[in-house]
Amino acid sequence: MPDHVEATGVVRWGPPYLLYLGGEADDLAIKTARGLAYWRPEWCIGQFRRSDCPLTLGLPDMHPAQAKAAGADTMVIGIANVGGMMGPGAVGDIVAALDAGLNVIAGLHQKLRDNPEIVAAARANGRVLFDARDANRAIPIGNGRKRPGRRLLTVGTDCSIGKMYTTLAIERSMRQRGLAADFRATGQTGMFVAGDGIAVDAVIADFIAGAAEQLSPARDDGGWDLIEGQGSLFHPLYAGVSLGLLHGSQPDALVLCHEPTRRHMRGLPDCPMPDLQRCLEANLSAARLTNSAVKAVGVALNTSGIAAHEAQAACREIEDRLGLPCQDPVTMGVETIVDHLLASCAS
């Protein structure tokens, strides 16, 4: 886990975690907490939510003092809302966690360190604050030169659509097959799951490709770097970070992520979802700037909003239309996608 340097030396933060849901009512807004609870359940002691929060992760409800007594080390602000801001009451809840002896980590655009009340409570209690959406290392300008190694990047028709879940599922599948494969986190949730990474949406635009190059350096062991995608080339607000990742990752393979029940881009009711074929072709075209041999190897479908038989039918329809394996990584796994990846990129 990352270190935090104080005047008295190095202080570490890490699990066990208390996951903070605040008063959020949008399930997508708690994707950070949900991602940790799904991928690292052994790290998560409980959830802390306000009385007006209708959402749950199925974990015990705890206030910070209860979580500390149960062994928690850190409260994770498990929110990734539009704009990345602390909601009403969040500052008071964070101060309560610090007063209870917990460290606090967050992936919001609004930084913990910029709130005087939070900083004062951290200092008074000797606790750590960690902002994941921050420049946590020196990042060079990208150079665009081809580097050794094999890389897969997940891309999406929209943001918050399953790119991290898909990438982690592919890593798990490949490792179970005895293959060298490493998840490369590019967002706050992925960083908390992996314990390292760069939140690329906090990187200055000119340096995004360089950040991707740094996250996935040259490797000569025959293994794969599995790079978590961000945003969408078709989202008017977030296409820039998606393009920077496509260029800097130099992917050999792309997996397209999609949610069939979504009718418009997240946060933009007047912006319809793109056609799958058009989206896939646009991503391949952009990726060819730095890797002319890039291939599409599968489609990952988030079918959480439809019945199981509808999910199977949706996957079959996409497979017939695009000629690529299509699976829901959570309910169906990714074995067919990984089979196709390995067969397509065998040389």
pLDDT tens column, 216-255: 999 999 999 999 999 999 999 999 999 999 999 999 999 9
| pTM for the whole structure | 0.88
Which helix (H) or strand (E) is 164 found in, with range?
helix 163-176
- DSSP result, 2-20: -EEEETTEEEE--SSEEEE
| 257: region left, alpha or beta (phi > 0 left; psi from -120 to 50 alpha) | beta
Which residue would you say has higher pLDDT here, 199 or 152? 152
pLDDT tens column, 251-307: 999 999 999 999 999 989 999 999 999 999 999 999 999 999 999 999 999 999 999
pLDDT tens column, 209-222: 999 999 999 999 99
Helices (H), 30-89: 31-39, 64-69
Secondary structure class of 326 (helix, strand, coil): strand
CATH number of the domain at 150-344, out of 3.40.50.300, 3.60.15.10, 3.40.50.880, 3.40.50.2300? 3.40.50.300
Mean pLDDT of 3-27: 71
Give 128's contacts (C-beta < 8 A, 6+ positions apart).
4, 6, 11, 12, 13, 74, 103, 104, 105, 122
Which residue would you say has higher pLDDT here, 4 or 341? 341
pLDDT at residue 138 greater than cutoff 60: yes
Check residue 5 and give its pLDDT.
37
Check residue 27 and give its pLDDT.
85
Neighbours of 16 (CB within 10 A): 16
Check residue 347 and give its pLDDT.
62
Vertex 197 angle, CA 139 and 40, to 5°: 175
- pLDDT confidence band for 86 (50 / 70 / 90): confident
Rg (CA), the chain: 20
pLDDT at residue 316 greater than cutoff 70: yes
Which helix (H) or strand (E) is 98 found in, with range?
helix 90-99
pLDDT tens column, 168-186: 999 999 999 999 999 999 9
pLDDT tens column, 103-127: 999 988 889 999 999 999 999 999 9
pLDDT at residue 42 greater than cutoff 90: yes
**Distance set, CA 171 to CA 65, 152, 217, 223, 265 (Å):** 36, 10, 17, 11, 28
Check residue 7 and give its pLDDT.
34
Distance of CA 338 to the CA centre of its chain: 20
Neighbours of 253 (CB within 10 A): 26
Mean pLDDT (the chain, rounded): 92
Same fold, 3-131 and 150-344: yes
Calpha distance 275→255 (Å, rounded): 15
Superfamily of domain 3-131: NAD(P)-binding Rossmann-like Domain (3.40.50.720)
| Bridging pattern class, strands 295-301 and 326-327 | parallel
Calpha distance 82→244 (Å, rounded): 21
Check residue 83 and give its pLDDT.
67
pLDDT tens column, 28-39: 889 899 999 999
- pLDDT confidence band for 136 (50 / 70 / 90): low
One-letter amino acid identity for 199?
A
Q: Where are the domains of the chain?
A: 3-131, 150-344
Share of the chain above pLDDT 70, in %: 95
pLDDT at residue 9 greater than cutoff 60: no
Calpha distance 145→247 (Å, rounded): 11
Check residue 135 and give its pLDDT.
67
Vertex 326 angle, CA 158 and 345, to 5°: 100
Cβ–Cβ under 8 Å, residues 297 and 337: yes
Check residue 198 and give its pLDDT.
92
Mean pLDDT of 327-331: 96
